[in-house]
Structure 1
Amino acid sequence: MGNACLCLQDTFRRSSGEDLGKYYPTRPECEEDVPKSRFKHWVGRTLSERRWKAAFTEDGHLDIVGVLRRIQRGGIHPSIKAAAWEFLLGCYDPDSTYDERNELRKQRREKYAELKAECKKMVPIFGTGKFITTPIVNNDGEPVEGEAGNLNGSMPDTAGVTDKEVIQWKLSLSQIGLDVVRTDRTLVFYESEANQARLWEVLAVYSWMDNKIGYVQGMNDICSPMVILLEDDADAFWCYEHAMRRLRENFRTNASSMGVQTQLGTLSQIMKVVDPQLHQHLENLDGGEYLFAFRMLMVLFRREFSFLDSLYLWEVMWAMEYNPNMFKCYEKSEEPTAEKVDTEMLKKCGKFERKNVETGSEEDRKGALAVYLVASFLESKNKKLLQEAKGLDDVVQIMGDMTGNVDAKRALNKALRIHKKYIKAKKS
């Protein structure tokens, strides 16, 4: 009986053997140059389409606790990633019904259409399946000479919009275009100019709507998966917009700094506590500001993993960071605040966020899981960094060698252990 149970358990946990790469095919000539995916659909662990459908009540309420548990164990099957991501990012409240979500989706699509119409009035190329890679105005807002200058339209009717804001937005359009043609170019999806134009439009409309941040290189890497996963551009836009509510401060810039430096400062504090020897070694190499980790945090490890594995990493991180109150905060455009510890609310939190809520310390809650993930990368290279890194170039080389060679699940588990160790050390 015992052996039979063990055999049954092995069957229950086996990989499905499905080729998940078929959902995001790589161009044949690029296959040797991209990291191989380690993500597999584990039966009984990965959130499957069948399990996803079963998680809804008849009128549409979602069992978010069961869904989070599955995602944290084995990610999401590609066939349902789009739908599940919208919940993970707070686009929809799990307690809402099908009818309520359909109405909200309709309103959001109408709003996106309005924003896109504003953009099209200023730059008529919107909606044509084409996009811009060369400047259409100069720094004074005057149309450039030649064909590109003819792409300008009229000023928007939007109240409160200044000429300076319009000029700044128009200046960003060519940079967005240049970044678009470099985005995930190993994927078959972006062989299509129409799909590249979709990505360009979503990024351009967002930079118009959120002109305080505008467009910054790296946003294309965050937005691309949403455009690939969601067929409707409006849905992709709002999924990206909700992701940016978490990440936009990373892209806030001024004359002397970028927002991601706040997270680098948190990383420095964490490493000083959990691995003082390695932290001191990096300090001695003038790497104590951890600028070598800048890109990892800015684009959420898109360069360290294959496309499929980076999606798995994101969804597991979002599941671990999930807090049911974030939906209410998002709809009110408020910053999440420390919550009174409530047993029912804690059950609906991801395992990382649950620990944060239980500590109740604002200082300890500042570090996003991504910061602890970088710390786990550093810990995994502890000996190599201590023995071989004689300068910052060596640190960059050692960390760069991790590309395509990291097991996302193990790294996340290590990040959780570092988080626990850091909080415990801070309390003692």
Structure 2
Amino acid sequence: MMWLDPGQPADSYYEVRPEITDAPKSKFRIKAGKTLSVRKWQASFSPEGQVDFTKTLSRIHRGGIHPSIRGEVWEFLLGCFDPNSTYEERSQIREQRRVQYANWKDTCRLMFPLIGSGRFITAPIINEKGEPILDPLVLLEANMGNEPGTDGALDASTLENLQKDTGPMSQKEIQWKLHLHQIGLDVKRTDRALVFFEKQENLAKLWDILSVYAWIDEDVGYCQGMSDLCSPMIILLENEADAFWCFERLMRRLRGNFRSTGRSVGVEAQLSNLAAITQIVDPKLHQHLETLGGGDYLFAIRMLMVLFRREFSFGDSLYLWEMMWALEYDPDLYFVYEDSDSASDNPDGSKGRTKSIRHYGKFERENMKSGVKEDAPLPISVFLVVSVLKEKSPKLLKEARGLDDVVKILNDIAGDLDAKKACVNAMKLHKKYLKQQAKKT
């Protein structure tokens, strides 16, 4: 485990390959007295293992989490565990989840033996009718592995026989197998600047987790962008099953963005709200974007789908995420998720198990105090996008003469944004939005 001194950037922890010279540098610094340190985190536990999360949330909001404990704290922030649980209770839950993941992975391995083999595919294995495609690239990957000399390789004839002898497949299996090569292609592109992903075993772990998730979540399956959300989990959590469950919890928050019908995508509602809020806080910019043909701001879809992974350095995006989750924290999250039957359910549990408002994150407290009743309260990510647009408003108004210009200006901000400042501005915009909504009621 690498330990960072106060003042060190997070890039010291998430090592970038030396030949990559254009990767954004992290602005996040370990700050004594502000960043949640190992000592402060350990001191928040009772002898039995319950966590005093109230002070922890404010510390995360002020200065983020020390990288060495980030994965462990994220499990609480994302609702994997109840802070009031004991060490023994969490150990039992963790073991049950690891067994569940292993069972799902075994099911997937029976359908396609490369799951869990330490390699992955980047070419399709079946067509939409479920008929096998014996692509030479798939056979090469199966026989040689993506890294020669790796144990557990499947030879081409074994895979070919399995492809031929599987018999009729269910529609669910067909759909799942159609996802596998796209997952592989995305895995090869995800966070390739990091030394961590030079190792074949880490790429394969990412492919396995996303493949298993695609099997259990029939509604969503797999969509591009999910690899960006999953990648940090396997870097922060050494055990593959633990990383899977952290990703699964994050997807419970975000899966609505990835769900689509023939006529709409899940993120459209957020984009519509994004435009409405921008119209309130910066009407001149809103009108300019509308005039350019950017109605409902489709150019912002990537920011919402992958939570600013492309706009910030790797370390800063993790810092941004944990601040967001601390601000949005709901102490009932664990119970809401556990009461839900499966990953494909939309959790709708109600608040009320925790009596004191102080146990909630600041963003949630503002929602509760405002008295504004919303069926689906807007996530802080929408206000973060508004804050970015507002910060870049002068440049957009002056230089954008078409949507291509808008996209270019927003793409050029990579590594130029300050995560803490973006969160502070998002909270101010949220407060302004709530006041506007309260006037309508």
- TM above 0.5, yes or no, is yes
* Aligned: 1:180 with 2:184: no
Paired residues of 1:326 and 1:336 also in contact (CA < 8 A): no
Is 1:100 paired with 2:111? no
CA drift at 1:257? 2.1
Question: Equivalent residue for 1:302?
Answer: 309
Q: Kindly indicate whether the alpha-carbon contact (under 8 Å) linking 1:173 and 1:204 is maintained by their aligned counterparts in 2.
A: yes
Give the superposition deviation at 1:364: 8.3
Match of 2:387 in 1: 376
Q: Are 1:141 and 2:152 counterparts? A: no
Residue 405 (structure 2) pairs with residue 387 (structure 1):
no
Could you tell me how far apart the structure 2 residues matched to 1:85 and 1:341 are? 21
1:222 aligns with 2:229: yes
Counterpart contact for 1:222–1:299, Cα < 8 Å: yes
Counterpart in 1 of 2:8? Answer: 18
Aligned to 1:361: 372
Alignment of 1:19-168 (within 5 A): 19-30=9-20, 32-145=21-134, 148=138, 150=159, 152=162, 163-168=170-175
Aligned twin of 2:260:
253
Match of 1:282 in 2: 289
Partner AA of 1:396 in structure 2: V
Question: How far apart are the structure 1 equivalents of 2:262 and 2:434?
Answer: 34
- Asked if 1 retains the 8 angstrom alpha-carbon contact of 2:372 and 2:434, the reply is no
2:347 is matched with which residue? 335
Give the one of 326, 329, 332 matched to 1:325. 332
Per-residue CA deviation, residues 245-290 of structure 1 (Å, 9 max, x unaligned), is 0000110122232111111011112112222222122111111211
Q: Which amino acid aligns with 1:323?
A: D
Q: Taking structure 2 as the reference length, what is the TM-score of the superposition?
A: 0.89
On the 8 A contact 1:338/1:360 being kept in 2, the answer is no
User: Residue in 2 aligned with 1:8?
Assistant: none
In the alignment, which residue of structure 1 is the partner of 2:149? none
Cα distance in 1 between the residues matched to 2:41 and 2:413: 33
Q: How far apart are residue 341 of structure 1 and its match?
A: 11
How many residues are aligned here?
A: 408
Question: Offset of 1:22 from its aligned partner?
Answer: 2.7
TM-score of the superposed pair, with normalisation by structure 1: 0.91
Match of 1:231, SS?
coil
Alpha carbons of structure 1 residues 360 and 337: separation in structure 2 relative to 1, 3 Å: farther
Alpha-carbon contact 2:97-2:241 (below 8 Å) kept: yes
Q: CA deviation at 1:162?
A: 6.7
In 2, the alpha carbon distance for the partners of 1:358 and 1:420 equals: 11
Partners in 2 of 1:358 and 1:335 — Cα distance?
23
Structure 1: any 5+ residue segments left out of the alignment?
1-14
Where do 4+ consecutive residues of structure 1 move more than 4 Å?
A: 151-156
Q: In 2, distance between residues paired with 1:418 and 1:341?
A: 29
SS in 1 for 2:296: coil
- Identical columns (%): 53
Cα distance, 1:68 vs structure 2? 0.4
**Residue 412 of structure 1: aligned partner:** 423
Decide whether the 8 Å contact of 2:78 with 2:250 is kept in 1.
Answer: yes
Unmatched segments (≥5 aa) in structure 2: 140-158, 341-345
